[in-house]
Amino acid sequence: MTELVIRKKFPCPVDAAAVAADWRARGYSCDLFIDPPGRQWIDFVHATDELVSVAEGRLKMTVGEKQVIAEAGDEVFIPRHAVHSVNNIHARTTRWYYGYN
């Protein structure tokens, strides 16, 4: 079973090229979201696995019945078909990477 979150997977400051290379080697894409404070993405479901890594800021994430606070350098695994939500709880803009396999 895959862990939901790996703390400090990527060193800070988080390097976009390092995240992209790591994920590409594991079969994932890599793109960037830039969310203002309070932005929420509620009850999404995808047919593929998803990875999320915070570059800057903090996210509160719900994956199924579990909640996690993700900070810079953390990587969160979202299994395919899992209902999940993302909320920028940082006082400023949060930048985060996401990718699908």
CB neighbour list of residue 50: distance below 8 Å, 6 or more residues apart = 77, 78, 80, 84, 98, 99, 100
5-36-56-21 Cα dihedral, nearest 10 degrees? 70
Q: Domain extents for the chain? A: 5-100
- Predicted TM-score (pTM) above 0.85: yes
DSSP code at position 72: B
Per-residue pLDDT of the chain (101 residues; tens, 9 = 90+): 478 999 999 999 999 999 999 999 999 999 999 999 999 999 999 999 999 999 999 999 999 999 999 999 999 999 999 999 999 999 999 999 999 99
* CATH, domain range 5-100: 2.60.120.10
The pLDDT, as a whole number, for residue 49 is: 98
State phi, psi for 20 to the nearest 5 degrees.
-60, -45
The pLDDT, as a whole number, for residue 1 is: 47
1-86-23-16 Cα dihedral, nearest 10 degrees? -150
Report the distance separating Cα 26 and Cα 44, nearest Å: 23
